[in-house]
Amino acid sequence: MLQDLGCTDVTTHLTRGNAVCTSAMAPLTTSDAIAQGLVRVLGVEAKVVVRTHAELVAAVEANPLRAVATDPAKQLLGFLSGTPDPERIQSIALP
């Protein structure tokens, strides 16, 4: 499906719907196109989050445990689809 949308270098990661690809479209345009493709091809509505290569590199480099967590196969990187509500963050923050 990603190739049908014009994406290249498509690689899937695990079996959770994660994929890495190259797209000439802007990230927001890419995520919208993928979300529409999921509905069209699979009948599934899903929130699609697209991050650029630079954003992925920055997130990995910002890992505070990078010096001790050296096995990338045992690391998890997650992204939010938007800016969280500060009040909600405060409600779960550790003292």
pTM: 0.77
pLDDT averaged over every residue in the chain: 90
d(CA 92, CA 95): 9
* pLDDT digits 0-9 by tens, 17-56: 889 999 999 999 999 999 999 999 999 999 999 999 999 9
Asked if 49 and 79 count as a contact pair (C-beta separation under 8 A), the reply is: yes
